[in-house]
Structure 1
Amino acid sequence: MSKKLVTCGKCGEYTPVVYRTKYLGSGIQHTYAVCQSCGDKVTVYYTDKELRQLLKRQEKTPYGPKKVALAETINNKMNELKERYG
Protein backbone atom coordinates (compact mmCIF):
# COMPACT_ATOMS: atom_id res chain seq x y z
CA MET A 1 0.00 0.00 0.00
CA SER A 2 1.44 3.38 -0.96
CA LYS A 3 1.26 6.36 1.34
CA LYS A 4 0.89 9.91 0.16
CA LEU A 5 4.02 11.95 0.88
CA VAL A 6 4.10 15.71 1.31
CA THR A 7 6.91 18.17 1.92
CA CYS A 8 6.85 19.76 5.35
CA GLY A 9 6.64 23.55 5.20
CA LYS A 10 8.85 23.91 8.28
CA CYS A 11 11.71 21.42 7.88
CA GLY A 12 11.46 20.61 4.14
CA GLU A 13 11.52 16.83 4.69
CA TYR A 14 9.14 14.43 2.96
CA THR A 15 6.68 12.91 5.38
CA PRO A 16 3.71 10.55 5.04
CA VAL A 17 0.36 12.24 5.55
CA VAL A 18 -1.13 11.08 8.85
CA TYR A 19 -4.38 12.87 9.61
CA ARG A 20 -5.38 13.63 13.18
CA THR A 21 -8.52 15.27 14.54
CA LYS A 22 -8.85 17.48 17.58
CA TYR A 23 -12.29 18.29 19.00
CA LEU A 24 -12.54 21.98 19.89
CA GLY A 25 -16.03 21.97 21.44
CA SER A 26 -19.32 23.26 20.04
CA GLY A 27 -19.14 20.55 17.35
CA ILE A 28 -15.98 21.99 15.75
CA GLN A 29 -13.31 19.53 14.59
CA HIS A 30 -9.76 20.53 13.61
CA THR A 31 -8.21 18.05 11.17
CA TYR A 32 -4.46 18.37 10.74
CA ALA A 33 -1.39 16.44 9.64
CA VAL A 34 1.80 16.06 11.65
CA CYS A 35 5.29 16.00 10.14
CA GLN A 36 7.04 12.83 11.30
CA SER A 37 10.43 14.54 11.07
CA CYS A 38 9.92 17.75 13.07
CA GLY A 39 6.45 17.34 14.61
CA ASP A 40 5.02 20.51 13.02
CA LYS A 41 1.22 20.54 12.65
CA VAL A 42 -0.35 21.59 9.36
CA THR A 43 -4.07 22.38 9.31
CA VAL A 44 -5.99 20.45 6.69
CA TYR A 45 -9.42 21.88 7.54
CA TYR A 46 -11.94 22.78 10.24
CA THR A 47 -15.48 21.38 10.15
CA ASP A 48 -18.72 21.77 12.04
CA LYS A 49 -21.76 19.48 12.01
CA GLU A 50 -23.36 21.22 9.02
CA LEU A 51 -20.16 21.07 6.98
CA ARG A 52 -19.66 17.36 7.70
CA GLN A 53 -23.21 16.70 6.45
CA LEU A 54 -22.46 18.68 3.27
CA LEU A 55 -19.28 16.63 2.73
CA LYS A 56 -21.26 13.37 3.02
CA ARG A 57 -23.85 14.69 0.56
CA GLN A 58 -21.06 15.70 -1.84
CA GLU A 59 -19.64 12.14 -1.79
CA LYS A 60 -23.02 10.76 -2.90
CA THR A 61 -23.69 13.40 -5.56
CA PRO A 62 -22.77 12.44 -9.14
CA TYR A 63 -20.46 14.79 -11.00
CA GLY A 64 -22.26 17.71 -12.55
CA PRO A 65 -23.46 21.25 -11.79
CA LYS A 66 -24.95 20.26 -8.42
CA LYS A 67 -21.67 18.74 -7.24
CA VAL A 68 -19.72 21.80 -8.39
CA ALA A 69 -22.10 24.16 -6.56
CA LEU A 70 -21.89 22.00 -3.46
CA ALA A 71 -18.08 22.06 -3.60
CA GLU A 72 -18.14 25.85 -3.78
CA THR A 73 -20.44 26.07 -0.75
CA ILE A 74 -18.20 23.67 1.18
CA ASN A 75 -15.08 25.63 0.28
CA ASN A 76 -16.64 28.92 1.43
CA LYS A 77 -17.76 27.40 4.75
CA MET A 78 -14.33 25.86 5.34
CA ASN A 79 -12.68 29.22 4.73
CA GLU A 80 -15.04 30.89 7.22
CA LEU A 81 -14.19 28.33 9.89
CA LYS A 82 -10.47 28.62 9.15
CA GLU A 83 -10.64 32.39 9.62
CA ARG A 84 -12.54 32.00 12.86
CA TYR A 85 -10.49 29.17 14.43
CA GLY A 86 -7.20 29.17 12.52
Structure 2
Amino acid sequence: MIRLGADARTDGHHAVVRGIERLSSAPVWACDIRAGAGLVLAGLCAEGTTDVWDVFHIDRGYPSFLENLTALGADVRRVADPPER
Protein backbone atom coordinates (compact mmCIF):
# COMPACT_ATOMS: atom_id res chain seq x y z
CA MET A 1 0.00 0.00 0.00
CA ILE A 2 2.88 2.36 0.76
CA ARG A 3 4.18 1.85 -2.80
CA LEU A 4 0.79 3.15 -3.99
CA GLY A 5 1.22 6.25 -1.84
CA ALA A 6 -0.87 5.17 1.16
CA ASP A 7 -0.20 6.65 4.59
CA ALA A 8 0.27 3.35 6.42
CA ARG A 9 2.44 2.00 9.21
CA THR A 10 2.54 -0.92 11.58
CA ASP A 11 1.95 -0.50 15.27
CA GLY A 12 2.59 -3.68 17.20
CA HIS A 13 0.37 -6.39 15.75
CA HIS A 14 -1.86 -4.16 13.65
CA ALA A 15 -1.63 -1.68 10.81
CA VAL A 16 -2.68 1.97 10.92
CA VAL A 17 -3.81 3.33 7.56
CA ARG A 18 -4.91 6.93 7.19
CA GLY A 19 -7.03 8.10 4.27
CA ILE A 20 -5.38 10.20 1.59
CA GLU A 21 -6.76 12.12 -1.35
CA ARG A 22 -5.35 9.87 -4.08
CA LEU A 23 -3.27 6.76 -4.68
CA SER A 24 -0.67 6.40 -7.45
CA SER A 25 -0.05 3.34 -9.60
CA ALA A 26 2.97 1.12 -8.95
CA PRO A 27 4.03 -2.50 -9.43
CA VAL A 28 3.20 -4.50 -6.28
CA TRP A 29 3.42 -8.15 -5.20
CA ALA A 30 0.67 -10.03 -3.38
CA CYS A 31 2.21 -11.75 -0.35
CA ASP A 32 -0.99 -13.54 0.75
CA ILE A 33 -4.69 -13.87 -0.07
CA ARG A 34 -6.20 -10.86 1.74
CA ALA A 35 -3.26 -8.53 1.15
CA GLY A 36 -3.35 -9.38 -2.54
CA ALA A 37 -7.07 -8.70 -2.80
CA GLY A 38 -6.55 -5.41 -0.97
CA LEU A 39 -3.80 -4.42 -3.39
CA VAL A 40 -6.03 -5.14 -6.38
CA LEU A 41 -8.82 -3.01 -4.89
CA ALA A 42 -6.38 -0.22 -4.04
CA GLY A 43 -4.98 -0.43 -7.57
CA LEU A 44 -8.48 0.09 -8.96
CA CYS A 45 -8.66 3.34 -6.97
CA ALA A 46 -5.19 4.52 -8.02
CA GLU A 47 -4.45 6.80 -10.93
CA GLY A 48 -2.79 4.94 -13.80
CA THR A 49 -2.14 1.21 -14.16
CA THR A 50 -1.21 -0.90 -11.17
CA ASP A 51 0.37 -4.32 -11.81
CA VAL A 52 -0.26 -6.83 -9.00
CA TRP A 53 2.05 -9.85 -9.24
CA ASP A 54 1.85 -13.28 -7.55
CA VAL A 55 -1.94 -13.33 -7.76
CA PHE A 56 -1.94 -17.11 -7.30
CA HIS A 57 -2.59 -16.27 -3.64
CA ILE A 58 -5.81 -14.49 -4.62
CA ASP A 59 -6.78 -17.34 -6.96
CA ARG A 60 -6.47 -19.81 -4.09
CA GLY A 61 -8.82 -17.90 -1.78
CA TYR A 62 -11.16 -16.13 -4.21
CA PRO A 63 -11.49 -18.32 -7.32
CA SER A 64 -13.68 -15.87 -9.31
CA PHE A 65 -12.19 -12.63 -8.00
CA LEU A 66 -11.20 -11.07 -11.34
CA GLU A 67 -14.38 -12.26 -13.06
CA ASN A 68 -16.50 -10.73 -10.28
CA LEU A 69 -14.64 -7.41 -10.51
CA THR A 70 -15.04 -7.40 -14.30
CA ALA A 71 -18.77 -8.06 -13.92
CA LEU A 72 -18.91 -4.95 -11.70
CA GLY A 73 -17.24 -2.88 -14.44
CA ALA A 74 -13.62 -2.96 -13.26
CA ASP A 75 -10.87 -2.84 -15.89
CA VAL A 76 -8.77 -5.80 -14.73
CA ARG A 77 -6.94 -8.43 -16.73
CA ARG A 78 -4.45 -11.21 -16.18
CA VAL A 79 -1.02 -10.90 -17.79
CA ALA A 80 1.93 -13.28 -17.98
CA ASP A 81 5.37 -13.39 -16.42
CA PRO A 82 6.12 -10.88 -13.66
CA PRO A 83 9.25 -8.74 -13.80
CA GLU A 84 12.14 -9.57 -11.50
CA ARG A 85 11.92 -7.94 -8.09
TM-score higher than 0.5 here? no
After TM superposition, the score normalised by the length of structure 1 is 0.21
Does 1 or 2 have the higher relative contact order (CA < 8 Å, sep 6+)? 2
| Higher strand fraction (1 or 2) | 1
- Bigger CA radius of gyration: 1
After TM superposition, the score normalised by the length of structure 2 is 0.22
| Higher helix fraction (1 or 2) | 1
